[in-house]
Amino acid sequence: MTDLAIYYEHPQWFAPLFSALDRRGIAYMPLNLQTHSFDPADAALPAPVVFNRLAMSSYLRQAEHAIFYTLALMAHFEHRGARVINGSAALAIDTSKARQLSLFRSLGLEVPATRVVHRFADVAAAAAQLRFPIMVKGDIGGSGAGMARYDTLEELTGFADENATPAGLNGVTLVQEYVPAKDGRVIRCETLGGRFLYAIALDGAGSTFDLCPADVCMVDKPSITISPFEPPPQIVRAVEATAQAAHLDVGGIEYMVDERDGTARFYDLNALSNFVANPLAVLGYDPHDKLVDLLEREIGLARKLAA
């Protein structure tokens, strides 16, 4: 048995991680989620350390997606004693924008004004409590999918009456005020091991809801530009507190500054980070190397526990 198993779905996305592990000489077992199955009675583990790399956007690529399957699988691995990186606790937050907003608020952070519903019949009534424009979002997001903007209550009501507003994959839908981001800029803060790693600014974010900044995501977003960014200390503290409260081992947390009142509003947590495109030019280093450092530490801890 190898020390590390990597549970993944999109082979192109993880080529940089696999290359970094190969350079370091770390053996690993790839587990492709598309063909995976498990026996709940089986105590055997693929490895003592399992790295969960499920993407919420996977449901866009497979009709028979593995999002809810993965929740069960990671809990199974944990019950059998594996150290799961981005395990079931982090997945519970990653798979729900509503839970993310509740977590942000529990930490005293500001969020976009939002109502959470589970019926088309309640969308318009929820929107009437908020300021327009309104965003309607599925609770489980991915690559900007499952979102729509409505500029008037009449427009939204017409779509809701036809059951044509976005609906969550899990039956949960968010009705949310559209936040005009100052300078059209969204800030994505990456974390590793519960600590701030780096931040980038995505300028021109108003042109798309798909803000994935990695190489494989940027080909169809020429209007988005990326630059390194240094958040103020209070934002760094907020990001680290969020990552730790969410049991997030590696992932991104996003916020924007509301141009109406200057408030930093947190709106997204993403447990799958592909890091930034062209990291050597943008950051001056490859964050995959720091990710492999974390994996090495976890392998070492697992070996000590097994000894």
Q: How far apart, in whole angstroms, are the C-alpha atoms of residue 203 and residue 207?
A: 9
CA distance 286 to 226: 16
Is there a contact between 266 and 238 (Cβ–Cβ < 8 Å)? yes
H runs (alpha helix) in the chain: 15-24, 67-79, 88-94, 97-106, 123-127, 153-161, 233-245, 279-282, 287-306
d(C-alpha 250, C-alpha 290), whole Å: 11
- DSSP secondary structure letters along 191-256: EETTEEEEEEEEETGGG-S----SGGGGGG-TT-EEEEE---HHHHHHHHHHHHHTT-SEEEEEEE
Q: Across the chain, how many H-helices and E-strands are there?
A: 9, 13
Compute φ and ψ for 243, nearest 5 degrees.
-60, -40
* Structure token pair of residue 1: 């048995």
* Cross-strand partners of 138: 173
**Domains detected in the chain:** 4-93+287-306 (3.40.50.20), 114-177 (3.30.1490.20), 179-282 (3.30.470.20)
Q: What is the mean pLDDT of each run of 10 residues along the chain (307 residues)?
A: 90 86 95 92 97 86 86 97 97 96 98 97 96 95 81 94 89 96 94 97 67 46 81 98 98 96 97 84 92 97 92
The pTM of the full predicted model, rounded to 2 decimals, is 0.91
Taking the C-alpha atoms of residue 247 and residue 65, their distance in angstroms, rounded to an integer, is: 24
Question: Any idea which residue has 């990597």 for tokens?
Answer: 6
pLDDT of the residue at 216: 40
Output the pLDDT for position 168: 83
- Report the amino acid identity of residue 56: M
Provide the b/e sequence for 87-125 (b: ≥16 CB within 10 Å). Answer: bbbbbebbbbbbbbbebbeeeebbbbebbbbeebeebbe
The pLDDT, as a whole number, for residue 222 is 54
Task: Name, in order, each residue with C-beta under 8 angstroms of 29's C-beta and a sequence gap of 6 or more.
Answer: 2, 4, 5, 6, 46, 47
